[in-house]
A and B are shown apart, each in its own frame.
Chain A
Amino acid sequence: MRGGQRAAIVLIGLIVAAIVLSMLHNTGASVPVEGLVLRVVEPVRSAFTTVANGASRALADLERFGEMREENAALRAEVAELRAQTARLSDAERENERFREALAYLDEHPELKLLTARIVGRDSLDVLDTIVIDRGASHGIRVGMAVVANGGLAGRVTKVTETTADVLPVHSPQSTVNVLAQAEDAAADGTLDGTTGADLVMRHIDAEAEIMVGDPVVTSSLGGGLPRGIPVGRIVAIEVSPTSVLRQAIVEPLVQLERLDVVQVILGQTAGS
């Protein structure tokens, strides 16, 4: 048989086979065989599809690179804005907390006439430690008034303008306050000086006074500057000077002013208290 004839016969055979397959497909008879073949190739096909899908997405991402960059920039700006908002909310929450504490202090001391003020400035040179509050003479503040925070003495007003006041913190080296160390049965007078460190020094304590570590230190009314009994801190160490009969104590302050946003100024005491 010549090659051409053989090819024609094979062609006719294959055409017939294709037509038969088509008929079987249309009647549904080939479905089981088709299903079997597809089941065999399914793992390979699935792997191919997964890889192709991934590659296609990667390619699409590459095509969208410029668009994604712009989107990224927009999202970054949005994130920055949201962070700023979060920070503002956090600040507001912290401030609310401070106000709540201030109100609590007010509740605990109904005899005191308190004015809540916000700290709006600090000594940028870090020499005087002075803070500035947003209340002044127009709000009734006068020089020498006590400033409290979180139930403890924070400082004293040293300068007043119509709308602001400078407060010298109790921990400032410039600050001296008349205080009492409250022992169990008695109290010892002294003066509390600020230092360059974190603690305060209570000086001029009578050598006979029975003070102990842990005793609270409060303001005394000596000198008439501050109301009596405002907590200032507690004694953490007692030192005896070899050159003096008086003792001194290291006092841990109750108020860490650098962490505060809000303080109260004691304008006075209500009548009859």
Chain B
Amino acid sequence: MVSRLGTAARGARWLPSLGTWAAALFLALLALVQTSVLPYFEVLGAQPSLVLVSVVILATMQVGTRALGLGFAGGLMVDLFSAAPLGTNALLFTLIAYVAGGGFGGVDRANIVIPATAVVLATAAYYPSVLLALQLQGVDVVWEAHLPARLWPAIIVNLGAAAVLYYPVRMLERWTHGRPIPTYRGVR
């Protein structure tokens, strides 16, 4: 199935397509859920980073720059809704989307194993990075207290979130983005 919201709905070429706006809206909703709902439901002492997971899944399915924009937008919304210093998550999610998109180029992107692996690696990279970014912005970070206690639970919880979000995100991607998802057997 090919999206009707992708290229067909696009106006000026430099503007994001309607599909990209829809995806951004989806990420905004996830950001709201992540910052307003999930703090009440900790699992293993950690909360799933829905936006990070979704951005990573999107990035592994896409080629081109669309995932970068969505990563930036998703991170920005997390910053806004979670009272984090503005730009922190926007920067990190953009970088993660770039690496995830480039790192898994040419492999089977329609397989859940790839996004799942990417989510594990991204989470492992994200937590030290966000602590570092916060420290650079003057936040007093106690590394030995924050990192070891939260990293493994976060990885496990985000892996679970990836299993839940993979198919909805894939459907969203197909619906909002005109390009088919490449696989080793061709495209789907």
Q: A-side interface residues toward B, CB under 8 Å? A: 3-4, 6-7, 10-11, 14-15, 17-26, 30, 34, 37-38, 41, 44-45, 48-49, 51-53, 55-56, 59
Find out whether the CB atom of A52 lies under 8 angstroms from the CB atom of B40: yes
Q: From known contacts A14-B69, A18-B72, A22-B137, infer whether A34 and B94 are also in contact, taking CB-CB under 8 Å.
A: no
CB-nearest residue of chain B relative to A23? B87
CB distance from A78 to the nearest CB of B (A): 32
| Interface residue B187 (Cβ < 8 Å from any Cβ of A) | no
> Among A37, A48, A49, which residue has its beta carbon within 8 angstroms of that of B80?
A37
Cα separation A191 to B174 with both chains bound (whole Å): 107
Cα separation A51 to B32 with both chains bound (whole Å): 13
CB distance from B135 to the nearest CB of A (A): 14
Beyond known contacts A15-B91, A18-B94, A38-B80: 6 more, CB 8 A cutoff:
A3-B64, A14-B68, A14-B69, A18-B87, A48-B32, A48-B37
Find out whether the CB atom of A34 lies under 8 angstroms from the CB atom of B37: no
Cα separation A26 to B84 with both chains bound (whole Å): 11
| Interface residue B81 (Cβ < 8 Å from any Cβ of A) | yes
Residues of B within 8 A of A45 (CB): 32, 35-36, 81
Cα separation A96 to B166 with both chains bound (whole Å): 77
CB-nearest residue of chain B relative to A11? B98
| Interface residue B63 (Cβ < 8 Å from any Cβ of A) | yes
- Residues of B106-134 whose CB lies within 8 A of A: none
| Interface residue B7 (Cβ < 8 Å from any Cβ of A) | no
CB distance from A38 to the nearest CB of B (A): 7
CB-nearest residue of chain B relative to A52? B37
- Residues of B18-43 whose CB lies within 8 A of A: 28, 32-33, 35-41
Find out whether the CB atom of B87 lies under 8 angstroms from the CB atom of A41: no
> Among A15, A22, A23, A51, which residue has its beta carbon within 8 angstroms of that of B94?
A15
CB-nearest residue of chain A relative to B72? A14
> Among B38, B63, B87, B98, which residue has its beta carbon within 8 angstroms of that of A22?
B87
Q: From known contacts A7-B65, A14-B72, A26-B137, infer whether A19 and B91 are also in contact, taking CB-CB under 8 Å.
A: yes
CB distance from A44 to the nearest CB of B (A): 6
| Interface residue B172 (Cβ < 8 Å from any Cβ of A) | no
Find out whether the CB atom of B72 lies under 8 angstroms from the CB atom of A41: no
A-B pairs, 4 with minimum CB distance: A22-B87, A25-B86, A56-B40, A18-B91
| Interface residue B102 (Cβ < 8 Å from any Cβ of A) | yes
Q: From known contacts A15-B95, A56-B40, infer whether A24 and B86 are also in contact, taking CB-CB under 8 Å.
A: yes
Cα separation A258 to B75 with both chains bound (whole Å): 83
Chain B window 62-83, contacts with chain A (Cβ cutoff 8 Å), 1 for yes, 0 for no: 0111001101100110001100
| Interface residue B3 (Cβ < 8 Å from any Cβ of A) | no
Residues of B within 8 A of A17 (CB): 72, 87, 90
Find out whether the CB atom of A44 lies under 8 angstroms from the CB atom of B86: no
> Among A7, A21, A34, A51, which residue has its beta carbon within 8 angstroms of that of B64?
A7
Cα separation A48 to B36 with both chains bound (whole Å): 6
Residues of B within 8 A of A41 (CB): 28, 32, 81
| Interface residue B180 (Cβ < 8 Å from any Cβ of A) | no
Find out whether the CB atom of B36 lies under 8 angstroms from the CB atom of A3: no
Find out whether the CB atom of A22 lies under 8 angstroms from the CB atom of B64: no
Residues of A within 8 A of B38 (CB): 52
Residues of A within 8 A of B41 (CB): 52, 55-56, 59
Cα separation A11 to B71 with both chains bound (whole Å): 10
| Interface residue B182 (Cβ < 8 Å from any Cβ of A) | no
CB distance from A259 to the nearest CB of B (A): 59
The contact sample of 23 A-B pairs, CB cut-off 8 A, is A3-B63, A6-B64, A7-B101, A10-B69, A11-B95, A14-B71, A14-B72, A14-B90, A17-B87, A17-B90, A18-B75, A18-B87, A18-B88, A19-B91, A21-B87, A22-B86, A22-B88, A34-B80, A37-B80, A38-B81, A48-B33, A49-B37, A55-B40
